């Protein structure tokens, strides 16, 4: 491949969401990949500029931080839809760089809030990046920004503030407090989707218990209770291999009961996520429930069928209670 083909392969992999393959192509961009990536920032195609930001985030280092911040200022000056997508990629890239200077760059973005066209999605990307680079000095800047922003724009930052303010023990109490709105608890889940540190895995049962309490309401409506349950499902799916096996037996039973209830949810998205959760915690007794709610639509029915196969497979791997070793 020549230089142009390598660059196109890198950009295409990034555009397709295949970050692992994009990293492979990044390693093949030559002896000076940073120079190649910086040149891509000159391209009019926003996807190419997004890929350049991703690449610099992977390379890391103070030089990458400086170039990303320069590009951030240029994209903010552009102010159009394409620029907004590149700003999101730059923010995400800064969140992946370990150097303290990257955190400083993110804090500068917080201090500039609210911008002329600040959208909840932009704030969400920033909150997730800050959570990846969490540090005590972040909290004060976040609190100041919350004083300037209104809801729903500030939702993710409000969730981030809770995570920064509270110890794991305090967070567990907060989650189970019925006086705290379910909306605020969903905001915390949205930020945790980015990363669930080991210290917070023991807090997940509190979120599951809260969802279990909300499930009877969520099954009949598409409001905050349903949204909270969806966010919990999404978080658990994203980190399934690590966090679901770490749940206590009681928490897994609670999660299974909630999922069983929400298989019949009015919200199709919530119902499908509940069905998918049963592949991790379902038992053979749940097969009749899946069959009873299996939709006629072939695409949706395939989801039910796949989960049913997974449940049967899991049941076959678990020895009967009391069986000999």
Specify the DSSP class assigned to residue 199: G
Tokens 């999605």 locate to 121
* 257, containing H or E segment: helix 249-262
Specify the DSSP class assigned to residue 58: H
Helix (H/G/I), strand (E/B), else coil: 67: helix
Comparing C-alpha atoms, which of 146, 143, 213 is closest to residue 175? 213
Q: How far apart are CA 131 and CA 163, in angstroms?
A: 9
Q: How far apart are CA 125 and CA 91, in angstroms?
A: 7
Q: How far apart are CA 110 and CA 137, in angstroms?
A: 12
pTM of the complete model? 0.74
Specify the DSSP class assigned to residue 115: -
Q: Domain limits of the chain?
A: 167-325
Q: How far apart are CA 159 and CA 151, in angstroms?
A: 12
* Per-residue pLDDT tens listing for the chain (325 residues): 677 888 889 899 989 888 888 888 888 887 788 888 988 988 889 999 999 999 988 888 888 888 888 888 888 777 677 888 888 888 888 877 777 767 777 887 788 777 556 677 778 888 988 998 888 888 988 998 888 888 778 889 999 999 999 999 999 999 999 999 999 999 999 999 989 999 999 999 999 999 999 999 999 987 899 999 999 999 999 999 999 999 999 999 999 999 999 999 999 999 999 999 999 999 999 999 999 999 999 999 999 999 999 999 888 876 544 444 4
Tokens 């909270």 locate to 228
Whether the CB-CB separation of 270 and 262 falls below 8 Å is answered with yes
């Amino acid at each position: 491949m020549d230089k142009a083909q390598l660059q196109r392969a890198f950009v295409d992999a990034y555009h397709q969401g295949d970050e692992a393959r994009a990293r492979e192509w990044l390693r093949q961009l030559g002896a000076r990949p940073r120079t190649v990536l910086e040149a891509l920032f000159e391209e009019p195609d926003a996807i190419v500029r997004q890929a350049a930001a991703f690449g610099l985030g992977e390379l890391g280092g103070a030089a990458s931080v400086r170039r990303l911040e320069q590009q951030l200022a240029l994209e903010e000056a552009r102010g159009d839809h394409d620029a907004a997508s590149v700003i999101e990629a730059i923010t995400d890239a800064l969140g992946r760089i370990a150097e303290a200077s990257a955190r400083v760059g993110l804090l500068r973005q917080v201090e500039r809030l609210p911008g002329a066209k600040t959208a909840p999605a932009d704030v969400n990307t920033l909150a997730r990046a800050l959570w990846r680079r969490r540090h005590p000095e972040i909290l004060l800047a976040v609190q100041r920004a919350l004083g300037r922003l209104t809801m729903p724009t500030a939702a993710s930052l409000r969730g981030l503030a809770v995570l920064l303010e509270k110890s794991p023990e305090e967070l567990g109490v907060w989650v189970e407090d019925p006086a705290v709105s379910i909306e605020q608890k969903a905001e915390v889940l949205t930020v945790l989707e980015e990363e669930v540190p080991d210290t917070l895995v023991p807090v997940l049962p509190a979120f599951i218990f809260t969802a279990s309490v909300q499930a009877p309401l969520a099954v009949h409506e598409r409001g905050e209770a349903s949204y909270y349950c969806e966010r919990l499902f999404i978080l658990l799916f994203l980190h399934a291999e690590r966090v679901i096996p770490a749940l206590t037996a009681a928490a897994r039973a609670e999660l299974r009961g909630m999922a069983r209830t929400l298989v019949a949810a009015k919200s199709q998205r919530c119902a499908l996520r509940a069905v998918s959760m049963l592949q991790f915690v379902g038992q053979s007794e749940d097969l009749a429930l899946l069959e009873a709610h299996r939709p006629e639509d072939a695409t949706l029915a395939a989801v039910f069928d796949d989960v049913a196969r997974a449940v049967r497979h899991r049941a076959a791997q678990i020895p009967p209670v009391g069986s000999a070793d």
